[in-house]
Structure 1
Amino acid sequence: MTDPLLGLGVVELVEALGAAKQTVAAAESLTAGLFTAAVASVPGSSAVLRGGLVVYATDLKATLAGVDPGRLATDGPVSESTAVALALGARTKCGADWGIGLTGVAGPSEQDGHPVGTVFLGIAGPDGTECEPLALGGERWEIRTTAVATAVSRLRDRVVERAAR
């Protein structure tokens, strides 16, 4: 049986990270470790995967990933600033070249005024940080796997682009 996570482009991400001799870590809320599990599903991923933080509960975003509690209180757990802070926290706490931060609303109902499908993808790397807001459709599982697939794709593109310079 083929692992469905491998269909997300994660093999190509692991290959790109390996070729660049770089590593990744993630702090995940709505995906609850799915990004990290996807990377770990690739043989040889131990050379590029440093680790991950599952920060599903809001307080863990601060205590484990280092998100400023004041920022969490002001902007909320589902926000651009939180996604960026999660990415930075994963990168720093795990000693990785790249950090991924994923937060959002997978459903079944809205959270703090954010509709189901709202996702913020933070990426922290050697050249700085960025956040991409996503508006995803589908059921809970589809939102979560699409968020992971997008994170895999965006990170792969950044790693490849940086290596080409």
Structure 2
Amino acid sequence: MVDVTALLAACRAADLRIATAESCTGGMVAAALTDIPGSSASFERGFVTYTNQAKVEMLGVQQATLDAVGAVSEEVAHEMALGALAHSEADIAVSITGIAGPGGSEFKPEGRVCFGLATHAACRTETIEFGALGRDKVRIAARNHALTLILAGTSTA
């Protein structure tokens, strides 16, 4: 896992504030960040948007996007990350939407997680296939990957 203390120090050094928009991780990224004393200097807020309705209401995800591609998609991760920026005072936002399991489908298997990383300059997305590791392990892997994305984003924000 990323050294969260170092991540927060990098954000402080760059004068960056973080927002999170989480679905399948249910707030695990925000919890990892706020476990560190003094994190309020860099962590601005977190959105746990587990349902599609919450994604629409809290982050401005378009219902048409959800209808067209589903919640577990890079398109929704993109809109979630941008929504977290728009609804906060943050400079960098990470989003996570995926299928932690058990379950999934032929088209969206267990362990597929889509991520977004947005700054005021750009937003990029990616999908990671963690595989059917089990719910807890997929969620931990997704949390760790999101923290890695934030750390990498501190140099480009």
Structure 2 distance, partners of 1:112, 1:103, is 17
1:132 CA displacement: 1.3
Given the alignment of the two structures, is residue 20 of structure 1 paired with residue 14 of structure 2, yes or no? Answer: yes
* 1:11 positional shift: 1.6
Structure 2: how far apart are the matches of 1:128 and 1:162?
A: 9
Query: In structure 2, which of residues 114, 139, 142 is the aligned counterpart of residue 144 of structure 1?
Result: 139
In the superposition, the TM-score normalised over structure 2's length comes to 0.94
Give the TM-score normalised by structure 1: 0.89
Report matched runs for 1:34-49 at 5 Å: 34-49=28-43
The alpha-carbon deviation at position 112 of structure 1 amounts to 8.1
**What runs of 5+ residues in structure 1 fail to find an aligned partner?**
1-6
- Deviation digits for residues 47-87 of structure 1 (CA, Å, limit 9, x no counterpart): 11111111101111101111011111111100001001111
Which consecutive segments of 4 or more residues in structure 1 shift more than 6 A?
none
In the alignment, is the contact (CA less than 8 A) between 1:52 and 1:94 conserved in 2? no
SS at match of 2:32: helix
Tell me which protein shows more helix as a share of its residues.
1
Residue correspondences, number: 156
Contact 1:66 1:85 (8 Å CA) reproduced: yes
Q: Any idea what SS the aligned residue of 1:94 has? A: coil
SS at match of 2:19: strand
The code of the aligned residue for 1:156 comes to L
Name the amino acid aligned to 1:119: V
Structure 2 gaps, min length 5: none
Contact conserved, 1:9 with 1:149, CA < 8 A, in 2?
no
CA-atom RMSD, angstroms?
A: 1.4
